[in-house]
Amino acid sequence: MSLTLYMHPLAAYCHKALIALYENDTPFHPHVVDLMDEASRTAFYKLWPIGKFPVLNDNARGCLVPESSIIIEYLAQHYPGKTALIPTDADDAREVRFRDRFYDHYVSEPMQKVITDRLRPKAESDTLGVAQARDKLRTALDLIEREFERDAGNRPWAAGAHFSMADCAAAPGLFFINLSILPLDDAHPHTAAYLLRLMQRPSFARVLREAQPYMHMVPRETVDA
Protein backbone atom coordinates (compact mmCIF):
# COMPACT_ATOMS: atom_id res chain seq x y z
CA MET A 1 0.00 0.00 0.00
CA SER A 2 1.77 3.13 -1.20
CA LEU A 3 -0.48 5.86 0.26
CA THR A 4 -0.33 7.01 3.89
CA LEU A 5 -2.60 9.77 5.16
CA TYR A 6 -1.32 11.62 8.22
CA MET A 7 -4.44 12.82 10.00
CA HIS A 8 -6.57 13.20 13.10
CA PRO A 9 -10.10 11.74 13.25
CA LEU A 10 -11.68 15.04 14.35
CA ALA A 11 -9.95 17.41 11.93
CA ALA A 12 -12.37 18.85 9.36
CA TYR A 13 -9.78 19.04 6.59
CA CYS A 14 -8.81 15.43 7.26
CA HIS A 15 -12.48 14.50 6.89
CA LYS A 16 -12.42 16.24 3.53
CA ALA A 17 -9.50 14.13 2.29
CA LEU A 18 -10.97 10.95 3.78
CA ILE A 19 -14.25 11.48 1.92
CA ALA A 20 -12.32 11.62 -1.35
CA LEU A 21 -10.39 8.45 -0.53
CA TYR A 22 -13.50 6.54 0.53
CA GLU A 23 -15.54 7.84 -2.39
CA ASN A 24 -13.29 5.95 -4.78
CA ASP A 25 -12.28 3.06 -2.51
CA THR A 26 -8.66 4.18 -2.79
CA PRO A 27 -6.38 1.92 -0.70
CA PHE A 28 -4.40 3.84 1.89
CA HIS A 29 -3.06 3.60 5.41
CA PRO A 30 -4.45 6.12 7.93
CA HIS A 31 -1.75 7.33 10.31
CA VAL A 32 -3.28 9.12 13.30
CA VAL A 33 -1.04 11.87 14.65
CA ASP A 34 -1.38 12.76 18.33
CA LEU A 35 -0.03 16.28 18.72
CA MET A 36 -0.23 15.90 22.50
CA ASP A 37 2.31 13.08 22.32
CA GLU A 38 5.85 14.39 21.96
CA ALA A 39 7.14 11.49 19.86
CA SER A 40 4.15 11.56 17.51
CA ARG A 41 4.31 15.35 17.18
CA THR A 42 8.07 15.38 16.56
CA ALA A 43 7.83 12.70 13.87
CA PHE A 44 5.04 14.57 12.10
CA TYR A 45 6.84 17.92 12.18
CA LYS A 46 9.94 16.22 10.81
CA LEU A 47 7.84 14.98 7.89
CA TRP A 48 6.01 18.31 7.37
CA PRO A 49 7.43 21.23 9.39
CA ILE A 50 4.28 23.33 8.88
CA GLY A 51 2.53 20.81 11.12
CA LYS A 52 -0.95 21.02 9.58
CA PHE A 53 -3.26 18.12 8.72
CA PRO A 54 -3.76 16.32 6.42
CA VAL A 55 -0.63 15.20 4.60
CA LEU A 56 -0.56 12.40 2.05
CA ASN A 57 2.66 10.46 1.53
CA ASP A 58 2.87 8.44 -1.68
CA ASN A 59 5.80 6.09 -1.23
CA ALA A 60 5.42 4.58 -4.70
CA ARG A 61 5.83 7.92 -6.45
CA GLY A 62 8.06 9.58 -3.87
CA CYS A 63 5.60 12.44 -3.35
CA LEU A 64 4.60 14.22 -0.15
CA VAL A 65 1.31 16.04 -0.70
CA PRO A 66 -0.02 18.51 1.91
CA GLU A 67 -3.30 20.46 1.89
CA SER A 68 -6.67 18.77 1.46
CA SER A 69 -7.59 20.32 -1.90
CA ILE A 70 -4.20 19.46 -3.37
CA ILE A 71 -4.49 15.92 -2.02
CA ILE A 72 -7.82 15.50 -3.82
CA GLU A 73 -6.36 16.95 -7.02
CA TYR A 74 -3.43 14.54 -6.70
CA LEU A 75 -5.72 11.56 -6.18
CA ALA A 76 -7.85 12.56 -9.17
CA GLN A 77 -4.74 12.69 -11.35
CA HIS A 78 -2.87 9.61 -10.17
CA TYR A 79 -5.49 7.41 -8.46
CA PRO A 80 -8.79 8.11 -10.27
CA GLY A 81 -11.89 6.09 -9.48
CA LYS A 82 -15.57 5.81 -10.25
CA THR A 83 -16.37 9.29 -8.90
CA ALA A 84 -14.76 12.14 -10.82
CA LEU A 85 -14.34 14.63 -8.01
CA ILE A 86 -12.94 17.22 -10.43
CA PRO A 87 -14.79 17.48 -13.77
CA THR A 88 -12.89 17.22 -17.03
CA ASP A 89 -14.72 20.23 -18.49
CA ALA A 90 -12.66 23.33 -17.67
CA ASP A 91 -15.61 25.56 -16.78
CA ASP A 92 -17.18 22.89 -14.56
CA ALA A 93 -13.81 22.25 -12.92
CA ARG A 94 -13.39 25.97 -12.19
CA GLU A 95 -16.83 26.05 -10.55
CA VAL A 96 -15.93 23.06 -8.37
CA ARG A 97 -12.63 24.65 -7.36
CA PHE A 98 -14.37 27.94 -6.51
CA ARG A 99 -16.90 26.21 -4.29
CA ASP A 100 -14.17 24.13 -2.70
CA ARG A 101 -12.38 27.38 -1.77
CA PHE A 102 -15.66 28.95 -0.62
CA TYR A 103 -16.43 26.14 1.81
CA ASP A 104 -12.85 26.02 3.09
CA HIS A 105 -12.39 29.76 3.64
CA TYR A 106 -15.89 30.91 4.58
CA VAL A 107 -17.38 27.84 6.28
CA SER A 108 -14.70 25.53 7.70
CA GLU A 109 -12.21 28.23 8.68
CA PRO A 110 -14.62 30.36 10.76
CA MET A 111 -16.21 27.18 12.15
CA GLN A 112 -12.82 26.13 13.48
CA LYS A 113 -12.23 29.59 14.94
CA VAL A 114 -15.45 29.45 16.97
CA ILE A 115 -14.97 25.90 18.22
CA THR A 116 -11.26 25.98 19.00
CA ASP A 117 -11.64 29.25 20.90
CA ARG A 118 -13.76 27.36 23.43
CA LEU A 119 -10.73 25.25 24.26
CA ARG A 120 -8.75 28.30 25.37
CA PRO A 121 -8.62 29.51 28.97
CA LYS A 122 -11.30 32.15 29.43
CA ALA A 123 -8.70 34.86 29.97
CA GLU A 124 -7.22 34.10 26.54
CA SER A 125 -10.51 34.01 24.64
CA ASP A 126 -10.51 35.95 21.37
CA THR A 127 -13.93 37.56 21.71
CA LEU A 128 -13.54 39.84 18.71
CA GLY A 129 -12.14 37.10 16.47
CA VAL A 130 -15.00 34.77 17.37
CA ALA A 131 -17.60 37.47 16.69
CA GLN A 132 -16.04 38.14 13.29
CA ALA A 133 -16.00 34.41 12.53
CA ARG A 134 -19.67 34.11 13.44
CA ASP A 135 -20.52 37.03 11.16
CA LYS A 136 -18.62 35.37 8.32
CA LEU A 137 -20.46 32.10 8.97
CA ARG A 138 -23.87 33.78 8.89
CA THR A 139 -23.07 35.45 5.59
CA ALA A 140 -21.79 32.22 4.04
CA LEU A 141 -24.73 30.16 5.29
CA ASP A 142 -27.21 32.72 3.98
CA LEU A 143 -25.56 32.56 0.54
CA ILE A 144 -25.64 28.76 0.56
CA GLU A 145 -29.27 28.74 1.65
CA ARG A 146 -30.35 31.14 -1.10
CA GLU A 147 -28.60 29.08 -3.76
CA PHE A 148 -30.18 25.79 -2.68
CA GLU A 149 -33.59 27.45 -2.33
CA ARG A 150 -33.31 28.97 -5.80
CA ASP A 151 -32.23 25.68 -7.39
CA ALA A 152 -34.39 23.39 -5.25
CA GLY A 153 -34.72 19.98 -6.90
CA ASN A 154 -32.21 20.76 -9.65
CA ARG A 155 -28.93 20.99 -7.76
CA PRO A 156 -28.49 18.27 -5.14
CA TRP A 157 -24.77 18.93 -4.67
CA ALA A 158 -22.59 21.95 -4.06
CA ALA A 159 -21.57 22.52 -7.68
CA GLY A 160 -24.50 20.97 -9.49
CA ALA A 161 -25.83 17.54 -10.35
CA HIS A 162 -22.69 15.57 -9.48
CA PHE A 163 -20.84 14.93 -6.23
CA SER A 164 -17.45 16.62 -6.35
CA MET A 165 -14.48 17.99 -4.43
CA ALA A 166 -16.74 20.87 -3.40
CA ASP A 167 -18.95 18.44 -1.47
CA CYS A 168 -15.88 16.93 0.20
CA ALA A 169 -15.12 20.45 1.42
CA ALA A 170 -18.68 21.28 2.44
CA ALA A 171 -19.47 18.17 4.46
CA PRO A 172 -17.23 18.52 7.54
CA GLY A 173 -17.71 22.26 7.96
CA LEU A 174 -21.50 22.08 7.81
CA PHE A 175 -21.52 19.03 10.07
CA PHE A 176 -19.56 20.69 12.87
CA ILE A 177 -21.53 23.93 12.54
CA ASN A 178 -24.78 22.02 12.93
CA LEU A 179 -23.38 19.95 15.79
CA SER A 180 -21.74 22.64 17.85
CA ILE A 181 -22.51 26.19 16.73
CA LEU A 182 -25.79 26.76 14.90
CA PRO A 183 -28.54 24.19 14.20
CA LEU A 184 -29.13 24.54 10.48
CA ASP A 185 -32.80 23.57 10.61
CA ASP A 186 -33.67 26.81 12.39
CA ALA A 187 -32.91 29.32 9.63
CA HIS A 188 -31.28 27.31 6.84
CA PRO A 189 -33.58 24.37 6.03
CA HIS A 190 -32.33 23.86 2.48
CA THR A 191 -28.75 23.77 3.75
CA ALA A 192 -29.84 21.33 6.46
CA ALA A 193 -31.35 19.10 3.78
CA TYR A 194 -28.08 19.28 1.85
CA LEU A 195 -26.15 18.28 4.99
CA LEU A 196 -28.46 15.31 5.40
CA ARG A 197 -27.70 14.20 1.83
CA LEU A 198 -24.00 14.51 2.61
CA MET A 199 -24.34 12.48 5.81
CA GLN A 200 -26.19 9.77 3.90
CA ARG A 201 -23.42 9.56 1.31
CA PRO A 202 -21.53 6.31 2.15
CA SER A 203 -18.12 7.98 2.02
CA PHE A 204 -19.00 10.68 4.57
CA ALA A 205 -21.09 8.30 6.66
CA ARG A 206 -17.97 6.15 7.05
CA VAL A 207 -15.89 9.17 8.09
CA LEU A 208 -18.46 10.02 10.76
CA ARG A 209 -18.61 6.44 12.06
CA GLU A 210 -14.85 6.36 12.45
CA ALA A 211 -14.85 9.76 14.17
CA GLN A 212 -17.64 8.86 16.58
CA PRO A 213 -15.35 7.62 19.41
CA TYR A 214 -13.72 11.08 19.44
CA MET A 215 -16.84 13.25 19.11
CA HIS A 216 -17.14 13.77 22.86
CA MET A 217 -14.01 15.94 22.56
CA VAL A 218 -15.84 18.56 20.48
CA PRO A 219 -16.99 21.40 22.77
CA ARG A 220 -20.73 21.75 22.22
CA GLU A 221 -21.70 24.64 24.47
CA THR A 222 -23.05 27.58 22.56
CA VAL A 223 -21.93 31.15 22.97
CA ASP A 224 -24.38 34.02 22.68
CA ALA A 225 -23.58 36.07 19.63
Q: At residue 65, what are phi and psi to the nearest 5 degrees?
A: -125, 105
Q: Is residue 140 part of a domain?
A: yes
What is the structure's pLDDT at 220?
Answer: 80
CB-CB neighbours of 79 under 10 Å: 17
Model confidence pLDDT, tens digit, residues 180-206: 999 999 899 999 999 999 999 999 999
Please report which residue ranges of the chain form alpha helices under DSSP H: 12-23, 38-47, 68-78, 90-103, 109-117, 127-150, 165-180, 184-187, 189-200, 202-211
Per-residue confidence band for 224, with pLDDT thresholds at 50, 70 and 90: very low
Give the three-class secondary structure for 219. coil
The total domain count for the chain is: 1
Report percent pLDDT > 70 for the chain.
97
Per-residue confidence band for 123, with pLDDT thresholds at 50, 70 and 90: confident
Q: Of 34-38, 49-53, 55-59, 220-224, where does mean pLDDT reach its minimum?
A: 220-224
Domain extent, residue 166, equals: 90-201
pTM score of the predicted model = 0.94
Q: Is residue 147 part of a domain?
A: yes
Q: Is residue 52 part of a domain?
A: no
Model confidence pLDDT, tens digit, residues 158-172: 999 999 999 999 999
Q: Is residue 74 part of a domain?
A: no
Asked if 69 and 78 touch (Cβ cutoff 8 Å), the reply is no
Q: Is residue 122 part of a domain?
A: yes
Whichever domain contains 106, its CATH number is: 1.20.1050.10
Q: Is residue 173 part of a domain?
A: yes
